[in-house]
Structure 1
Amino acid sequence: MDVKKLAAFTKAVDLESISRASVSLHLTQSALSQQLSSLEASMGVQLLARSQQGVYPTQAGRILYRHAQQILRSVDEAVSEVRSRGEGVSGRVSVGLAPYSMAGDLTVPLLAAVRDEHPNIVVHVRENFGGLLSELIATGQVDMGVLYAPVSLRAVSVEPVHVDELCLLSHADRGIPAHVEFTDITDLELIVPTRQHSIRLAVDSGFQRHDVFPRIAAEVESVPSLLEAVGRDLGATILPRTCLPDLAGHPDLVVSTIGTPPMSVRVAFCTSASLPLTPQAAAVERILRRLLAARIARIPSSAGRS
């Protein structure tokens, strides 16, 4: 099987366009189309379907795409190991870290520790929704992740490591008390992530349990932007306690607990349930677990439990 044709196929699927894929691969559209046609001919099935919006994989194409990701990754790892001439553990490792979680604090320490302990390893950190990251872990495109549970895929091994309490963060001028119920904040403008995110799902669930509905003022994926918006009193937000800013530096913000009992989310360490870790991934896993344990140890006992 021609690796270049597989790479061309996966690029077309990723970009959903022959023209965009050809530009990315520095090929003419004609040359790329010939490679794709040749791949389909060798497989004996149609791999891509065309529409006015672009291209998308057929059922057979989705199967090939999943395997192609693993094949191309193995090729990259082989090249990396050969070029490193066997000087220690080497290769590429992909780590998923859920946004709006304590995992966000681990990116820079992880990069620094891997550089110091395994300089021939290239770490790819992906911050995305837990659902997408869990699918990537299941298919071997991401080696491990610190995500919000539950992760519904059987192909993913889920190890709960911490329970984080959700809190309401608002501007002091609103005068919100130190504890509120979901029924108390139905008229409060909320700035939250989209429904693809585990935090949003937990927030919606909290309101639904009381048969009330939140007032969503905006949906924001960036935590720094969200905190700035709350600081300007454009609305309030709901975040895990470990993601809250240091209020000493934000005297205009106040934190309130929500619900009786308090609403919480579970953080989990996730790996593939069937695909073994490569030597370089195992080395990064040890570092990530060490950093995660140290991060959890710094959390005050009142902020959650492991």
Structure 2
Amino acid sequence: MVPYRISTFDLHLFAAVVEAGSITRGAAAMHLSLAAASTRLQKLEHALGTALLHRSKLGIRPTDAGRTLLRHAGRLERELEILHAEMAAHAHGIRSTIRLLCNTAAMTEHLPPLIGRFLAGRADVDIDLRELGSQDVLLAMRQEQADIGIVADYVGTEGLHTRLFAEDDLVAVFPAESRPAGAGVPFADLLEHPFVGLPAESGLSRFLQGRAMQYGRGLHYRVRVRSFEAVIGLVGDGVGIAVVPAAAARRLACAGIGVARITDAWAARKLLLCTAGETPPEGRAAELLDFLARHGA
């Protein structure tokens, strides 16, 4: 007997049934009869060796296994959407898509002008650019989910090929009237102040929270906003202090803020380009890697 193979259609059906809370309504959404949908779901459960749905007179709800499948089904559907988009690009004559993952500082401060210069002369290239924390970039690179990654040098890059991309010191930004007297300040002293920062899920926010936890403390954020422009504007208004890349502090310097070097060794960071696999990237990905290594700040 030929073994049953899980199809993307069955995963889509399962997701539709869970969303609808009913096999009948889920089947209708997928343009299937109730009998056909029920058969497919039963085969799916048999293939996986576990019940996926709790069935009752009030409808259905997923089991723990069903919730796990639903999470993976969503990820697979997103991957398929990316695949279709890339294939459509090939069909329209766009021959290359470079997958580039990077941390917050690279995304906001270093990459935008360089990406513009690189793409301007290469009409046949797309770049799939995504921001993650440095640890998450490393994980994705080790799973070969991207062509190039950019991480801060505080993470372990064993097993990856690295090249210097840019200097990326972190500095403390204060309202001008409360800037400390010395040129530098320890991070531990900053924990006494209220902060302004980026969203909690940003790579920089998670990194700073981890550093604060090493002192047995948390960071008190008065407000979180989406950009360094907004962060430094709020610091200038006297809302709190912030820790930002030195490049952002230089770019956004104004009369209302003061900048101090953070004296902890980890604040003197470098950004590293990293690639995975036994062989270096080829084609357009290799061009981008060399371009970033040569023109990084």
Among candidates 67, 72, 79, match of residue 56 of structure 1: 67
Instruction: Report how many aligned residue pairs link the two structures.
Output: 275
Residue of structure 2 aligned with 1:243, choices 238, 242, 248: 248
Separation in structure 1 between the aligned mates of residue 278 and residue 9 of structure 2, nearest angstrom: 27
1:159 counterpart = 2:182 = no
| Separation (CA, whole Å) in 1 of partners of 2:104 and 2:208 | 15
Q: Name the SS for the 1:100 alignment partner.
A: helix
Encode CA deviations 1:193-227: one digit per residue, 9 max, x unaligned.
46655534553455566666654433445323212
| Cα distance change, pair 263–124 in 1 and its aligned pair in 2 (3 A) | closer
1:117-196 alignment runs, 5 A limit: 117=122, 119-151=123-155, 157=160, 159=162, 161=164, 162-177=166-181, 178-193=183-198, 196=201
Of the structure 1 ranges 108-117 and 37-46, higher mean CA displacement relative to structure 2 is found in: 37-46
1:227 aligned to 2:228?
no
C-alpha change, 1:176 and 1:143, in structure 2 (3 Å) is same
The 8 Å contact of residues 212 and 219 in structure 2, kept in 1 or not, is answered as yes
Residues 1:199 and 1:30: Cα distance change in structure 2 (over 3 Å): same
Whether 1:293 and 2:294 are equivalent positions in the alignment is yes
Q: Hey, what does 2:276 align to over in structure 1?
A: 272
> What is the distance in 1 between the residues matched to 2:160 and 2:232?
33
CA deviation string 1:230-278 (max 9, x = no partner)? 1222111011212324365x1211110122557333422233337985x
Question: 2:107 aligned with 1:106, yes or no?
Answer: no
Structure-2-length-normalised TM-score: 0.67
Q: 1: distance between equivalents of 2:175 and 2:115?
A: 33
| SS of corresponding position for 1:124 | strand
Distance 2:201 2:151 in 1: 13
Q: Secondary structure at the match of 1:257?
A: strand
8 A Cα contact 1:183 1:212, kept in partner: no
CA distance in 2, matches of 1:106, 1:58: 36
- Partner residue, 2:41: 37
SS of 1:57's partner is helix
The answer as to whether partners of 1:102 and 1:243 remain within 8 angstroms in 2 is no
State the 1:46 CA deviation: 5.8
Structure-2 separation of matches of 1:174 and 1:196: 28
Letter in 2 for 1:187: E
Give the deviation of 1:44 after TM superposition: 4.9
The one-letter code sitting in structure 1 at the alignment partner of 2:267 is M
CA deviation vs aligned residue, 1:22-81 (integer Å, no higher than 9, x gap): xxxxx925659949738837955569675499x63349x85x888887777666545543
Q: Hey, what's the Cα distance between the residues in 2 that align with 1:269 and 1:174?
A: 37
Go from structure 1 to structure 2 and tell me whether the alpha carbon gap of 1:237 and 1:137 turns closer, same or farther (over 3 Å shift). same
Shift of 1:96: 1.7
2-structure distance, mates of 1:218, 1:267: 27
Q: Which entry has the higher C-alpha Rg, 1 or 2?
A: 2
Residues 92, 121 of structure 1: 8 Å contact kept: yes
Identity %: 13
Where do 5+ consecutive residues of structure 2 fail to align? Answer: 21-27, 54-60
Contact 1:167 1:258 survives alignment (8 Å): yes
Distance change in 2, residues 1:58/1:242 (3 Å)? same
The equivalent of 1:28 in structure 2 is 29
**What residue is the counterpart of 1:96 in the other structure?**
101
Instruction: Measure the CA separation in 2 of the matches of 1:6 and 1:104.
Output: 44
Partner of 2:9: 5
- Compared with structure 1, are the counterparts of its residues 39 and 254 closer, same or farther at alpha carbon in structure 2 (3 Å cutoff)? farther
Distance change >3 Å, CA 128–CA 205, structure 1 → 2: closer
| Deviation (angstroms), 1:112 | 4.9
- C-alpha contact (below 8 Å) 1:8/1:32 kept by paired residues: no
SS in 1 for 2:115: helix
- SS of 2:273 mapped into structure 1: strand
Supply the distance in 2 between the matched residues of 1:133 and 1:148 (Cα, whole angstroms).
Answer: 10
| Shift in Å, 1:287 | 2.1
Could you tell me whether the CA contact under 8 Å between 1:95 and 1:145 is conserved in 2?
A: yes
**Alignment CA distance shift 1:294-1:95 (3 Å):** same
